Structures are given as C-alpha cells and as structure tokens.
Structure 1
Amino acid sequence: MDETGRPEPERSFLRSTAAQTRLHELVPGGAHTYARGSDQYPEGMAPIIVRGEGARVLDLDGNWFVEYGMGLRAVTLGHAYQPVVEAVARGAASGSGFSRPSVWELEAAERFIQMVPGAEMVKFAKNGSDVTTAAVKLARAATGRDLVAVCSSQPFFSIDDWFIGTTAMNAGIPEATRALTVAFEYNNLQSLALLLAQYPNRIAAVIMEPATGTLEPDPGFLEGVRDLADKDGFVLIFDEIICGMRWSSAGAQSVYGVTPDLSTWGKALGNGFSVSALAGKRSLMELGGLNTDASRVFLLSNTHGAEVTGLAAYLSVADAYSERDVVGIMETQGSKLRSALLQVISEEGMSDYITISGRPSALLFATRDKNGRPSQEYRTLFIQELLRNGVLAQSLVISAAHSDDDIDITVVAVAAAAKTYARAIERGTTEGLLAGRSVAPALREFAAPRRLEGPK
C-alpha cells in the first residue's frame, strides 16, 4: 500500500529508463522532438513505446496505456489504423520515389483541392515547419516586405530561425533575423492595427492559428484580420497544422468562414505518417512555379516532398473522413471524457486546482498549486499518478479510436490521481508524493539537471 491507502499498481519502467539513458548518449535531448523528451515526464517514468493499437500504446516494460496527445495531435484515426497502413504498404510496393512526378501526386493534389474549398493550388512536403516557412517566403516575395507578424499567445509555428528566434531557445540565431518577427495578441484587433501603424508597409505576412485547443476566435476577430489584410496588403496565413482534420477536414477556416491567402497543413493529414501541405491562392503559389514573369521563389523543392507513402497515407485518411464523421466522433468522445472527468475532479474537491479546457477534440488539462498558481510540480504529480494507473497523457487530446472503455479507464485513473493531488494540496507541497524532479517547459533557455533513476 502507498501512503494514500491504495494498492500500488504493479508497473515497472526499468527497461524504458535504460533505453532512455542510452538515447541520451546517442541523441541530443534523448528524443527527436523536444515535446517528446524525458523532461516532459516524471523522473524515471518516461515510457519508450514499442507499438500502438487504436488509442493504446505498449512500452518496453510491457505496460499498456490509454494514450492522449496521439502522436503530438497527429493521429486522429488511431494508431496502426489498418486501412491507412494497408494503403501505405500498397504505395510502397509500387516504389517510393521517382525522377518524375507520380500519379500519387496528381491524385493527392486533386483530392486536397476538393477537400479545402478555399485552396486553388497545393504543394506537399514532409513536415509542418517546412510549409510554414515556405508560406512566409511566398508572402515576402509577393509583397516585397520583410517583417512577419506572429500571434504571441500561440506557442509554435516552425523550427526555422524566423520563428524560433522569438522563443527562449534562440541561441545561434542572429539578432538581425530575430528582429524580423514581431507579435500581436489573439482576439485583439487593436494590437495588430498598432503593429501595422508602427511598421507601415513592412509586414509581409500575418501567421496565426485560426483557433487553438483553449482559444476560440471572438465574433468578428478573424473577419477583422481578413479585412486588415485586404486593406494593408499583407498576406494572411492560417496555420492549420493542428486545426486541419481536427476542427474539420476542410480546416478551421471552413468552421469559422474566413478564407486565408495561404494555409499550412500537417499532423493528422497522414494519421501520423509524414506529409504536410502548403495551399492557397494561385497568384501566390505560382510564384514558385513556371507560370510567372516575376522573380521565382524556391518553393518546397526536396527529394522526399512527394514521397509515395505520405501521399498514400493522406489519400487513405481522406477516404476515412469521407466514409464517416471522424471529427464528430472525436467531438462526441471528447465531450463524454470532459464531463466525466470534471465530475470526478469535483468529487475530490479539486475543481479549482485541476482544470480541463478546450475543444472536445483537443482537450488540455492545467494544474495549480494550493495558492492557485500554475504549477509544473503539480503537473508532474498528476502525470505521475495517471501513468501509475494506465494513462499516458501530456494532454487530453483524443482520437476517433478512443472507445467508451478507454474513457472509463481514464476516468478511474483521473479519480485516483485527484485523490493524491488533494493530499498534496492539503499539505501545501508535493514533497513525499512526487517521485523526482518536476517537468519543465520544452522550449526553455537552459537545460535543468536531470537524473534518470527509476521512480521511488
């Protein structure tokens, strides 16, 4: 029995911890994506995944977890979704890359243009950062301007210098590059108008997510940004990397009825397979093509941009969305999850300390300490207790594969975690309940000391 009076779940993380230690010796940060790093999980409890099925994943120690976050929001149909896997296998069997365009490129482009009414042309790539940077380049070429305006309350747009230079991890990026990106506030048209006045005829692009898991546009906000773009002449770019395929197969732009000049897509486009897209107005996209008299933009020209398996995955995902209401299923299951979790959190008296917010298809949780302040230590405690009870969750981002059974397991895990959390709130500290160091923001200037021993 642990000190809360409940049986200690029989979960070991020894093999995962050993593998994570080895990863740190071979891979900077111990992972290929900062958000997947071991510093994002309780000490000695960072599972190394062997495989996934639907909404569940298996780690090296034989632990099965109900997973949320779903591959950093990239998986909407479930892990190893058979129609997509089979489509990718068929595509790969025909050859993965050629010296000329393949029929997959034509079929995928036609399908995408049908799916997203506001798009007149599309170009595929392999990751979201490439297409957002390409959109910025097009905007600069089209306008002859140099500045980019990003939404300050939205955490990530690209790994490239024009954006990462605005974050705490800006080492290696010249100040001259960092100065070319400015920021405005979401749902604050005045803040954008002030930027335009401060930098007249210099802002080439405004790039923003139409919405996020926690922020919906106020009435008239997106329409106002569109109007400012038309009046000022900047290029309006919607980052649909997360919203696209979660809000709608046609993107959040179709949900809110505002069409950008360019939009960028990724993540769920391939249900976890690597494929992204830049789409938008023909007049802009052709600056990277052959039907232009202007100086040409070097636009997304790389060996693997139209590699067959990514396009095959996208086509299969598009089929799945046309055959059933994938977004509707996520919204329904997410609503069930939120209602049930809010109830058990309330029953433990923790509603002021553990909160759940966001669109049902992209739910997030937040954690607060005894004084109501956001707390990484309490976040770590909450994640730790979820792991001990069979749930792997940096967020509560769901998929269409999450069944009622998966939700039931999650509710039981959150109820148990809330009991431990309540004990910490009563004490005013996580000491004695938290096994090791706390998690830390993924994008931070300095790496905190890490220890990799197993959980206590």
Structure 2
Amino acid sequence: MNAEHPGESLLPRSREASERLHALVPGGAHTYAKGDDQYPEDLAPVISHGSGAHVWDVDGNRYVEYGSGLRSVSLGHAHPAVVEAVRRELERGSNFARPSVVELQAAERFLATVPTAEMVKFAKNGSDVTTAAVRLARAVTGRPRVAICADHPFFSVDDWFIGTTPMNAGIPATTTELTVGFPYGDLAATEALLTRHRGEVACLVLEPAGHTEPPPGYLQGLRELADRHGCVLVFDEMITGLRWSEAGAQGLYGVVPDLSTFGKALGNGCAVSALAGRRALMERGGLRHTDERVFLLSTTHGAETHSLAAAMAVLETYVREGITARLHALGERLAEGVRAAAASMGVADHVVVRGRASNLVFGTLDEELRPSQEYRTLFLRQLLLGGVLAPSFVVSSALTEADIDHTVDAVAQACAVYRKALDSGDPTPWTGGRPVKPVFRRLA
C-alpha cells in the first residue's frame, strides 16, 4: 500500500465509493459486521474482486484475506469446482414451479455427510433456519420460552434474538421476555433455569463449541437435561459446521441434537443454509402426519439450483480433499507464528490468539489487559498497511504457506507499533481517527 501523506486519503476510491454507499444503503453495507465502523477510519477498503485467499480493493491494493465473507468462503474465492457447479446449473435454469431433482441430490449429499440428521430443508440464510428451528420447537412442545446460550454472540436477525441485544429498538418487550439465557459450560445453571421455568422452555439453542472446547461431558449433559425437561436441543452449526468436521461439531463430539442449523461454509459464499434434524420433528413441517401443520420453511429462493449445486460441490470437496484437516493445519501454523511475533515484540500478553485452529480470532488488550477497541483499531490499521485484511484470523483452505508467512511478518510490524503505543500509554496517534466500534450498540 502507498505510504501515508498528511491530509491525503490512503484509499481515495474506496472512500468515495463508501460515501456513495452510505447515500443509498443504510449503514453503507448490507451486513453490519462489514460496516465502515468496524475498520479504521482512513482504511476501510471497498472490494473490487477476489481470487483464492486474496482480495483487491477499488484502489488497486491486494490483501491476504481472513474471515472471508464472515467465515463463509472457506475454500477461497472463485473456487473452480464451485464456480463450475454453479455455472452448469445456471445454464439449465435456476428456479421452477415444482421441485428440481437437484433438491433431491443436495438433500442426499447433505444427509450422507451429516449422518446424525434424518431430514433436511434448505433456505438462503442462517437466521431463517434458526428461527424455523425455534418455531418448530415451540410447536412440538407447546411451550413459549426459548433458552439461548448467553455467551454466544449471534443466532438470528429475528425478534426473539435481536430483542436481547442492545440494538433492540422496534422489538416489543413481550417478545424479548420469552427469551432467557444460560451460560456456556455450566450445567448446574442451565438446570436451575429449566427448573425455574419448568414446563415453559421449548428449546435450548447454542453453538456446540466456540472460542474454547466444550468442557468434558458438557454437551452430553445438555442432551440429558433437554431429555429430562422435555425440551428440544438445537445446535447452531453456522460456524462449526464443516470447520470442526465435515459432519459439524455434532459429528466430532458424538452428541446428536434434535435439530441443527448449517450455513456459511456450506455454500462457499453462495446463499444456502440448512435446517436438519430428527424425522419425528422435521416431518411436522411436511405433509405425512396427522398433527397440526407447522409453517417450517417456505422460501421462493430456498431451492435455487445453483446454490444447492454449490453446496454439493463444497461437501464433495471437503470430503475428497480433507479440507477440515487443511484448515486446522493452516490455522496452527498461523497461530504459532502470530504468538511468536507478539512475543518477540514484547506484547504476547496484549495480542492474543484464541479459538480452534480452523476458527481463530484475536484479542487486543490495553495496558491493564482489558479488551480495547483503540488497540484493535491500531492493530487492524497496521495489518491493512501491511496488505492483510483480517477482522479475524479465520483461515480459508486457499491460503498458502507464503500467505501465512506474509501475515506473520505484517503481525510482527503491527506488534512493534503496538509496543510503542503501550510504552506511551496512548494508542491514539496510531489509530488514524476514531476507534472501531462493537456491532451491537444502542447508538450509531
């Protein structure tokens, strides 16, 4: 990237495009996590295109990219097998008045890869399938409350979840009151919650794993609690699906939920998600039963053939090429390099890498070892100047060892600046403007 000049925008075309976006699109992006406020004020690139593990901005700068598409592009951009599968189906038509045979093929492929599920229904985004799981759980149990893991950041854009966040404007309190939280890893607290709301909780919703591994026996204990209290166990596998194993975290840990939801990596950037689970529950959204019908999922574009073809290509590639193992190997190499770079610059306690190797995030801590948005801004800015776009350190299989080495070099340079800021007690001179902000906050 070009050297800095006082008073001159580092990314003039990106800044101009961003201004035009803000005039037309609320927030300047269609996903809050991609907003300008998530990046340093003078270094928020607008992307032109991507290939493999690299993206280019409209100013012509190339970056090694991490966390691609909010963790969705795990094979790298424009992966040949996915592109060819999508192209083939687009040439054959993408949406019809009756089910396509591709819907059958995709369901067979998914259930062969995730054998813990008995039925599957596809949609376009994770929020829809997770909300469908909640609706189904309420219908089959006749109970109103939803218990969510309070330690996990996001489940759905719908009111039952967003009402529990600081961005709850427009959501009736009566809706939010029906959602209660439980802490991850604490079976006693979860049982106390289920006892306190005895006979009211329809489901337990959680990511089966996050930045830490599940405590021994935890997921098995949740399974037993759900059975004992008559509620539905729902695994949100948006992130863990494919990244933990081809069959998701449920396949890795050997605990079978009643319902589970998949997305993100499933389409390698194409819009596809899945609700999967036990036949006895899923069939309530179908036609072959005598109970009251449940409006499970019915979306105009949920069965578009090109997205389902992309999902099949992804699943086949994961199994054939051992992609999950490659993601872990790349993540381990990256984590080791970042930790060594931070230690060499004397900031090992301040720049920390967390999570499973296939799903790494980083923390930026201040002088008192508290999470700091100012130091995150400094770190992101230095990485961007070094040609690394990294809202996280979540890897794709398209990364090469050279890409990892380049990233570690950029991290080392960023850590050198981080050390200077710590020594001065003030990161402001190195942030380039206002600090980045949390997505969920009450005021803009």
Deviations, residues 291-348 of structure 1 (Å, cap 9, x unaligned): 1111101111011010111101001111111211100001001101111111111000
Q: Which amino acid aligns with 1:351?
A: A
| Within-5 A mapping of 1:201-212 | 201-212=199-210
- Measure the CA separation in 2 of the matches of 1:268 and 1:111: 15
Contact 1:168 1:445 survives alignment (8 Å): yes
Contact 2:10 2:42 survives alignment (8 Å): no
Aligned counterpart for 1:87 among listed residues 85, 88, 94: 85
| Aligned residue number for residue 29 of structure 2 | 31
| Aligned residue number for residue 221 of structure 2 | 224
- Measure the CA separation in 1 of the matches of 2:394 and 2:334: 10
Contact 2:194 2:201 survives alignment (8 Å): yes
Contact 2:374 2:428 survives alignment (8 Å): no
| Aligned residue number for residue 50 of structure 1 | 48
Gaps of 5+ in 2: none
Deviations, residues 14-65 of structure 1 (Å, cap 9, x unaligned): 1001101111110111100000001000002111111111111000000000
Deviations, residues 152-208 of structure 1 (Å, cap 9, x unaligned): 000000000000000000000000000010000000001110111110100000000
SS of 1:100's partner is coil
Contact 1:334 1:360 survives alignment (8 Å): yes
Aligned counterpart for 1:355 among listed residues 352, 365, 370: 352
Aligned counterpart for 1:421 among listed residues 401, 418, 421: 418
Matched, 1:154 2:149: no
Deviations, residues 253-312 of structure 1 (Å, cap 9, x unaligned): 011110000000000001110000000001100111001111101111011010111101
| Within-5 A mapping of 1:10-409 | 12-212=10-210, 214-409=211-406
Q: What TM-score, normalized to structure 1?
A: 0.95
- Measure the CA separation in 1 of the matches of 2:386 and 2:286: 53
Percent of residue pairs bearing the same amino acid type: 56
- Measure the CA separation in 2 of the matches of 1:283 and 1:113: 16
Contact 1:11 1:63 survives alignment (8 Å): no
What is the CA-CA distance between 1:412 and the residue it aligns to? 0.9
Contact 1:11 1:388 survives alignment (8 Å): no
Structure 1 consecutive aligned stretches of length 4 or more whose deviation exceeds 6 Å: none
Q: Which amino acid aligns with 1:395?
A: S
- Measure the CA separation in 2 of the matches of 1:320 and 1:433: 42
Q: What TM-score, normalized to structure 2?
A: 0.98
What is the CA-CA distance between 1:8 and the residue it aligns to? 5.8
- Measure the CA separation in 2 of the matches of 1:11 and 1:176: 47
- Measure the CA separation in 2 of the matches of 1:387 and 1:429: 21
Deviations, residues 353-407 of structure 1 (Å, cap 9, x unaligned): 1101111110011001112111000000000000000000110000111100100
- Measure the CA separation in 2 of the matches of 1:128 and 1:11: 37
SS of 1:183's partner is strand
CA RMSD of aligned residues (A): 1.3
Contact 1:12 1:61 survives alignment (8 Å): no
What is the CA-CA distance between 1:118 and the residue it aligns to? 1.0
Contact 2:234 2:260 survives alignment (8 Å): yes
- Measure the CA separation in 2 of the matches of 1:34 and 1:244: 22
Contact 1:149 1:207 survives alignment (8 Å): yes
What is the CA-CA distance between 1:11 and the residue it aligns to? 9.3
